[in-house]
Chain A
């Protein structure tokens, strides 16, 4: 029976900042981590060089790094990265603007929530890539195609997290607001939004990962300029296989960077919030 309660309090404890770890220990951990990465890369290198994995299929890491270094100097590379990043950011912003007000509304009204529950449930389970052929017909190999996909894919986690956040508003604050006859707009601004904010932030994190996946995917299949299209083009010629892997590495680096950025931003902006420990996955 105790087991049932085990995960919650323990999680809270794990998250609490303990005494700052000794610097020496941190260096040691960093050393071990670097060693692990090095071993992994060496194994990859060895697998290709020894011929266990044919070089026509997998490029060894040194060659990928070399190619990546060369690519950094090209205009083509930076414009591809720029296109992908642009689509991604715009797509996320569009879904934020659509999802958060809707989420506040649906979260605050039980009637509306119940009316739209089935529809939302249905729409959010549609795999977003399903829209790709239709979007390609409508917009062709242009940014709008990817935007449509990204918006459709990331609007649902944001909407659900916002609704969830509204449901989590402290009943006491709600009563206080009522007792002081707070005006509706003030209530939204000073009670609803702040308490929903960390949940929206979690939604942004989930949506950001999803969006990057969808941007790269629609570029890949639709030939829309960006990292994905470069991967698709490079795949077709043997000499360009290292570039293909280099672009995969770049896309991954983009994903890691954004994850770190969002987590840091969240920590800074929401450090005041008691519910900031929330880690719900949508």
Chain B
């Protein structure tokens, strides 16, 4: 088992060394003539305006929380998936093992889906929309006059 994780270690080392070598070689090769225009933040060709450190919508936090919960469920699913179709266990229990395992897992996932459905129906997952402020303005000219002008010049 440890030697199999050794491959992962090799991958990690390769990633670090590869990045370092590429950056170093690029630094050796490239010309270095910075100016103000080159050093500005590139954002789709737009001139950057204001602070990047804005407050995010609180709703993202709920989504992240739900993600962590289902992530935990996934952790339980993994060891189950390796033994659920095990042939020796299935044969020695006359196929009962597989049925038992799948029923248990359906109950486990079902409980969580029940919770998700409850939160969904109760509206806890609704996206908080920013309030649109409609301008309050009463024009002395009736709207039909504007429409008449629009029709005349269109």
- Same assembly: no
